[in-house]
Amino acid sequence: MEAPELPLPDLLKYLRDAAGMTQQQLADELCALTGTFTLTRHEVGRWEQGRVRPRAWLPALASLLDVDLETLRRAPGRRPSGAPDADPCNDVEQVSEVLRRTLLRKGIAAVSIPVIGLHRDHRVIQALDAIADDHVGGVMDSIGELIDHYALTICALPPADVYDELLAVRSYANSILDRAGSMSSRTDLTLATGRLSHLLAVAACDMGEHATARVWCSDAERRSRDVNHPELAAWSALTGAMIAWYQGQPRQSATLSAKGRHSAPEGTVVYAKLASQEMRAAAMAGDVDRMTRARHRAGRAIAALPSDTPITGAFSIALAEDPPYTATSLVFLGRCQEAVAATNRVIQTVYQPEARQRGEHPSGYARALLILALAEAGPGRLDESLTAGHAALTGSRPAWPTMVLAGQLDRVLTRDFPDARETADYHARYLEVAGVPAERRSQTPGPEGSHT
């Protein structure tokens, strides 16, 4: 195809439009062509915004979009107005090349190397590369510290950004597996790679990329089996169960929760979380008996946890008077007044102001507020419901699970308070946060029934 002379971001969008593909379709076609299975529409969007230059993907893009490869390679980038000239010795392109050379030394195809984003945090790859040249054990320690870092911050960072960073670190960890001499080193690296896959699943879930999340869950489970570490597989089962719950599939969620719980060692955080997830899945399905049994089981499991149990991050549990998701379960059973009391207890004990000021729990706090809003709406307390609902949408991290609950509240308010001006205000705010373009908001179908 004859291509116009455009900056690469504009050229890619022009060629994609000419091929009649959406960003998601282009990502899917690239995955099918290269066999990587990890590219998402978010990354394609960053290419077209000029945030990332997809050097490693250019051969596949040229083939797929029917354009000469040299045309893509010669196309200039698009710098924001007033941006300083890039310094090739210091910017992220150098980091990308370090990672690229490292992986190519290991025999990994160039097209399979993830594109590094424009975050200076990716200098971490340079550090890992330098350490690995000296000693694989040293880089293993560093990867372990990175896993701890991302486990603590993944719920506060923008999901797409943390996904890119995790993908780079995970690819690096996988690339040095062949250099691990002893069996213990290989076991440690395999487990670390699996934990990174689990964190990638969490980030993908927060982006609403369900298929991608399931791919990473499957990889984490495989790594778990390889090193006989059932706890990691249980965490992946929890992620799958949560995706099913937010998709409105409570019976599947309950089944996945029970299966994961049976494989999880008792006395672990994940065992207690799976019991709690089974409780709210049973509540959504209207199975009161199963919900009650799961609630008792979760309570016993939490009581058995040690005092130093982590209460923040991806591998944590919120320790309150009730098991996690108790308030949500009560809302689905129509016991709204109890749900209000339970949610307020959680907010007061877990989401204290000082914790929020430290940047902890932004997504969890937003979801707690939305559960409170749903519980207040049940008995008709519109003002209280709207106060909590609007507060939930003031955060800077509208993850997919949060927006599912925000959408449920939107449907409840429209159903129960259709003529209230405040309902229309919340509806407009919800659409704004959900990213619906202004010109489409008036065309958006009205909310339908609610699960609550």
Give per-residue pLDDT as tens, 296-312.
999 999 999 998 898 88
What is the chain's mean pLDDT, rounded? Answer: 81
From the CB of residue 424, how many other CB atoms can be counted at a distance below 10 Å? Answer: 14
At the second CATH level, the architecture of 8-80 is Orthogonal Bundle (1.10)
CA neighbor of 250 nearest in space, from 294, 208, 213, 202: 294
CA neighbor of 124 nearest in space, from 160, 89, 75, 166: 166
Mean pLDDT of 356-383: 86
In the prediction, which pLDDT does 172 show? Answer: 80
The three-state DSSP-derived secondary structure of the chain is CCCCCCCHHHHHHHHHHHCCCCHHHHHHHHHHHHCCCCCCHHHHHHHHHCCCCCHHHHHHHHHHHCCCHHHHHHCCCCCCCCCCCCCCCCCHHHHHHHHHHHHHHCCCCHHHCCCCCCCHHHHHHHHHHHHHHHCHHHHHHHHHHHHHHHHHHCCCCCHHHHHHHHHHHHHHHHHCHHHCCCHHHHHHHHHHHHHHHHHHHHHHHHHCCHHHHHHHHHHHHHHHHHCCCHHHHHHHHHHHHHHHHHCCCHHHHHHHHHHHHHHCCCCCHHHHHHHHHHHHHHHHHCCHHHHHHHHHHHHHHHHCCCCCCCCCCCCCCCCCCCCCCHHHHHHHCCCHHHHHHHHHHHHHHCCCHHHHHCCCCHHHHHHHHHHHHHHHHCCCCHHHHHHHHHHHCCCCCCCHHHHHHHHHHHHHHHHHCCCCHHHHHHHHHHHHHHCCCHHHHCCCCCCCCCCC
> Bigger pLDDT: 397 or 151?
151
107-138 residue pLDDT tens? 433 333 344 443 444 555 555 555 455 455 56
pLDDT confidence bin for 358, thresholds 50/70/90: low
CA neighbor of 118 nearest in space, from 87, 95, 100: 95
Mean pLDDT of 22-34: 83
Sign of the torsion formed by the C-alpha atoms of 24, 27, 33 and 37: negative
Angle in degrees, CA 381, 385, 390, rounded to 5? 155
CATH topology of domain 230-324: Hyaluronidase domain-like (1.10.3450)
Q: Specify the range with the lowest mean pLDDT, choosing from 9-18, 140-149, 183-192, 352-361.
A: 352-361
The backbone torsions φ and ψ at residue 187, rounded to the nearest 5 degrees and listed phi first, read -65, -45
Q: DSSP letter string over 22-84?
A: -HHHHHHHHHHHHT-----HHHHHHHHHTS---GGGHHHHHHHHT--HHHHHHS---PPTTPP
CA neighbor of 325 nearest in space, from 270, 274, 376, 258: 274
In the prediction, which pLDDT does 37 show? Answer: 52
d(CA 411, CA 3): 46
214-251 residue pLDDT tens? 999 999 999 999 999 999 999 999 999 999 999 999 99
pLDDT confidence bin for 348, thresholds 50/70/90: confident
Residue 384 has pLDDT above 50, yes or no: yes
pLDDT confidence bin for 288, thresholds 50/70/90: very high
Q: How many residues does the structure list for the chain?
A: 452
**b/e map of 22-48 (b: 16 or more CB within 10 Å)?**
ebeebbbbbbeebebebbbbbbbbbbb
Q: Tell me if residue 395 falls in helix, strand or coil.
A: coil
Answer whether 0.75 is exceeded by the pTM.
no
Mean pLDDT of 367-392: 96
Domain ranges of the chain: 8-80, 230-324
Residue 332 has pLDDT above 60, yes or no: yes
In the prediction, which pLDDT does 119 show? Answer: 44
